[in-house]
Amino acid sequence: MVNERESVTAKLCSFARAYHSNFGENKIYDDYLAFDLMGKKQYEEMGQLIQNNFDSSKFDSKKWFNQRAIRNAVYDYMLPIPLSRFSFAKRELRAFEQKYSGKSEKIQYLICGAGMDSYAFRNTNEKLQIFEVDHPDSQKYKKARIRELDWILPRNLTFVPVDFTKDSLKERLLEQGFNPNLPTFTAILGVSYYLELGVFEETLKVISEITNENSQIIFDFPDETTLSSHAAERVKKLAQITAGLGEPMLKGFSIKEIQNALARNSLKIENYQSPKDIQNLYFSGRRDNLRAYENVHFVKAIKTKRS
């Protein structure tokens, strides 16, 4: 099932945040609730998955993964993209809040493909209404973990279960109280790698249609070198890993293709970060071997007019 495959990717992303928060020095992004929300069992499963060269059939519930044995793989493949893109999201969200919190009674944060994101439990801005969009099965597991931890659900958090094979994102959001007239910050992270541009553009279109002119969208995307023979060896290896997990990267996009897709939906780029920019902003001067991926780009887009 595709949903099961996607859950492995989400778990690896959660593992990366938890691992870095527990063991990282000079933290790029500190999700100090990641381990608790993920749970010891799944943390161990993902650690063993990495140690066993991403072969899930070798999992042994009676064993522990060796932290030293997985360090190189974690630093080379698991940490760079999630840590830098969440740090990017944190910076842009903070700037958005500073700009609009004083101008509006409420503002909205829409997280598409939220997975095990814990931001709603770390957020301190009572004006920020958080909408987490994810597959019903993924949200079912997350809610179960929250109950097990005896965490209190924030009043400004709304879960929006969406099965994209049969549900309308727009309808589901509106049913759950999403307000198109409020300034909205939307994050679509870790999604474009596994979609054709036309499919990804449909999500951009929906978000543009249901948000006002004071809204912003951030996302990351792989460039056109991703699946080419000229791709960096690390990029080729990551593509092999995701394909082996049943979720192959389909292609990459040029910045021109991204600009055109945004323009078709009344959006334009306000902040663009190339791989070189990402390296300088998030990894420069580090003593460990963390470094930006050669094919990953970050974008913040804003509305050009009311859709």
pLDDT in tens, 293-304: 999 999 999 998
With vertex at residue 38, the alpha carbon angle to CA 178 and CA 236, rounded to the nearest 5 degrees, is: 90
Residue 104 pLDDT greater than 90, yes or no: no
pLDDT of residue 246: 87
pLDDT at 6 over 60: no
Residue 3 has a pLDDT of 40
Residue 305 has a pLDDT of 67
pTM for the whole structure: 0.94
pLDDT digits (tens, 9 = 90+) for 45-65: 999 999 999 998 899 988 999
Q: How many CA atoms lie within 13 A of 1 on its CB side?
A: 7
CB 120 within 8 A of CB 157: yes
Query: CA dist 137 to 4, 75, 144, 231, Å?
Result: 9, 30, 11, 35
- In sequence order, the β-bridge partners of residue 157 are 130
- What is the mean pLDDT of the segment spanning 150-163? 96
Model confidence at 117: pLDDT above 80: yes
Dist CA 281 CA 255 (whole Å):
20
Reported as a single tens digit per residue, the pLDDT across 260-284 is: 999 999 999 999 999 999 999 999 9
Binned at pLDDT 50, 70 and 90, residue 79 comes out as: very high
Selection from 68, 36, 38 nearest residue 51 by Cα: 68
Mean pLDDT, rounded, of the chain: 93
